[in-house]
Structure 1
Amino acid sequence: MPGWVEILIRTISLVVILFLMTKWLGKKQLAQLNIFEFISGIVLGGVVAIHTSNTDTRMIYGILAMAIWFAIPYAVNFISLKSKAFRNFTQGRSTVVIQDGKIMEDNLKKEGYTTDDLLENLRSKNMFKTADVEFAVLEPSGTLNVLPKTENKPLTPKDFGLKPSPKKEPQTVVMDGRMMLEPLANLNLNPNWLETELDKLNVSIENVFLAQADSDGQVTVDLYDDQIAVPDPTEKPLLLATIKKCQADLELFALETENKETEQMYQKNSQKAQQAIDLITPYLK
């Protein structure tokens, strides 16, 4: 067998095996590496490189070495799930580096974390003064998580006594000019609805690069041709305008009628419509 063919076969085979091993270890290894995962990742890459380029080595030995180095982090992860003490030993513990706006210098030294490292990570969290931090903790993965003091937190609807309606995540309903049926079903919508919405925008689905719909039935569209302007969604403003028009019509009917009972009925329903408008206006603007 020619050498280049053997290298090609070795490379494809070992890369496939390495890919499957990484998938079996789970997504956690891709995001946060502990010590064993970090070491095994380096070694596995080295084993693949050696047995790919060196045709004098037996491939079965490379696969055996990869299996052993796969088994080590897999076993560590399995035992870590069962034992908190073992997990603390292998993965480490979180370390508090700021508490009540005060830097914990001893903890920084213990983790080999410099003041520059701390300030840099605080700036990445949009915190430029340590005095504005209520609590900061250095995770075993090296991530710094920060809790700002109450007066420095951004305002939320809860602070104003508002309770926003629950939202589903936006769904991509058109991608590369093709309709996505599963995301439509997730929003309890159908292809006919999507075609109607695109017709309102005077857009054909073949010209749509990406279209997303939210739980309110509003569609945002990005076209292949960036020179074409697409109007913003108008469902919410139209709904609010329609309700306001109904309330105004009720007031007008109350003024025009001469029947006292009918007038009272119109006024009562006009007041209810106004109350509804006051409630939903923050959500429809």
Structure 2
Amino acid sequence: MPEWIVVVLRSFSLLIILFFMTKWLGKKQISQLNVFEYISGIVLGGIVAIHTIDPNANIVYAFLSMFIWFIVPLCVEYVSLKSKRFRDFTEGKSTVLIQDGKIMEDNLKKEGYSTDDLLEKLRDNNVFLASDVEFAVLEPSGSLSVLPKKENQPLTAKDLGLNVAPEKEPQTVIMDGEMLLEPLANLSLNVNWLETELDKQNVSIENVFLAQADNQGQLYLDLYDDKLAVPSPSEIPLLLATMNKCQADLELFALATENQHSKQLYERNSKKLQQAIDLIRPYLS
């Protein structure tokens, strides 16, 4: 058999094996590598490269060495899940670089971090003044987790005492002109609802590049033709505006009438409508 065919066959077979090994090792192996995973990844790649370009190398040795470098990290990961001491040894521990607003110079030196390195990591977290940081820790993966001081943190609805509605993640219901049924079901919606919403926009599904729906049942479209503009959903803002107008009209009717019975009726219903608005406002805002 010609050597180039051997190289092609070896490349495909080893690439497929390496692909499945990486998947079996888990997403963590891909996203955030500790020291041991980093070494095993390099060695596995080296084994594949060597036995791919050398037709004279025994392919059985490649399978054997790849199996060893696959099973050892798998065992290490399993033991790490059971023992924190072993996990700290193989993956390392977090290091505090800023505590109570004070930079820990000794820890910086221990990790081989210069002041410029620290400032760069802070900028990656959208922090440009070290004095704005309450706590910062260097993770074993090499990323820096930063907690700004309370006065530098953005306001939340809880800080403002506001009640907000629970929210689910938006779902992609159309992709590349094809309807996706599972995301629709996740939002408790169906095909009829989607077709009705598309009819409202006067759009056929074949012209939709991407469509996403939120948990409030609003549909957002992006069409293949970028020159066509699709209006944003307006049902919820219009509903809230209509309810506010009705409540204001009831107050005006109460002020305008001289009949006490009618005045009390308008005022009572105005208060009830205002209570309803307050209850549903978090869902409509």
- Shorter-chain TM-score category? over 0.9
Partner of 1:47: 47
Partner of 1:88: 88
Deviation at residue 266 of structure 1 after TM alignment: 3.6
Is 1:3–1:55's contact at 8 Å kept on the other side of the alignment? yes
- Superposed CA deviations along residues 134-168 of structure 1, whole A, max 9, x for unmatched, are 00000011000000000000011111101210000
| SS of alignment partner, residue 158 of structure 1 | coil
Is 2:3–2:55's contact at 8 Å kept on the other side of the alignment? yes
Partner of 2:211: 211
Within 1, Cα distance between the matches of 2:151 and 2:249? 46
- Superposed CA deviations along residues 181-235 of structure 1, whole A, max 9, x for unmatched, are 1100100011111111111112111111001000011111111111111101102
- Is the counterpart of residue 36 in structure 1 residue 22 in structure 2? no
Within 2, Cα distance between the matches of 1:3 and 1:235? 67
- Superposed CA deviations along residues 53-82 of structure 1, whole A, max 9, x for unmatched, are 111011111000000111121111111111
TM-score, normalised to structure 2's length?
0.94
Deviation at residue 34 of structure 1 after TM alignment: 1.2
| SS of alignment partner, residue 75 of structure 1 | helix
Structure 2: runs of 5+ lacking an equivalent: none
Give the partner amino acid of 1:220: Y
Distance 1:13 1:237, change over 3 A: same
Partner of 1:132: 132
Distance 1:237 1:45, change over 3 A: same
Partner of 2:22: 22
Within 2, Cα distance between the matches of 1:129 and 1:259? 65
Is 1:36–1:72's contact at 8 Å kept on the other side of the alignment? no
| Superposed counterparts of 1:192-231, under 5 Å | 192-231=192-231
Give the partner amino acid of 2:188: N
| Superposed counterparts of 1:1-285, under 5 Å | 1-248=1-248, 250-251=250-251, 261=261, 263-281=263-281, 283-285=283-285
Give the partner amino acid of 2:224: Y
Identity among equivalent pairs (%): 69
Is 2:247–2:270's contact at 8 Å kept on the other side of the alignment? yes
Within 2, Cα distance between the matches of 1:163 and 1:247? 21
Within 1, Cα distance between the matches of 2:104 and 2:128? 17
| SS of alignment partner, residue 174 of structure 2 | strand
The answer to which of 245-254 and 219-228 deviates more is 245-254
RMSD: 1.9
Give the partner amino acid of 1:217: G
| SS of alignment partner, residue 225 of structure 1 | coil
TM-score, normalised to structure 1's length?
0.94
| SS of alignment partner, residue 212 of structure 2 | strand
Deviation at residue 252 of structure 1 after TM alignment: 6.8
The answer to which of 230-239 and 242-251 deviates more is 242-251
| SS of alignment partner, residue 135 of structure 1 | strand
Distance 1:9 1:217, change over 3 A: same
Give the partner amino acid of 1:194: L
| SS of alignment partner, residue 274 of structure 1 | helix
Deviation at residue 255 of structure 1 after TM alignment: 7.3
Give the partner amino acid of 1:38: Y
Deviation at residue 121 of structure 1 after TM alignment: 0.6
Within 2, Cα distance between the matches of 1:140 and 1:23? 22
Give the partner amino acid of 1:144: L
Within 1, Cα distance between the matches of 2:202 and 2:57? 64
Deviation at residue 258 of structure 1 after TM alignment: 8.4
Give the partner amino acid of 1:26: G
Aligned residues: 285
Is 1:97–1:104's contact at 8 Å kept on the other side of the alignment? yes
| SS of alignment partner, residue 136 of structure 2 | strand
Within 1, Cα distance between the matches of 2:24 and 2:244? 57
Within 1, Cα distance between the matches of 2:254 and 2:149? 53
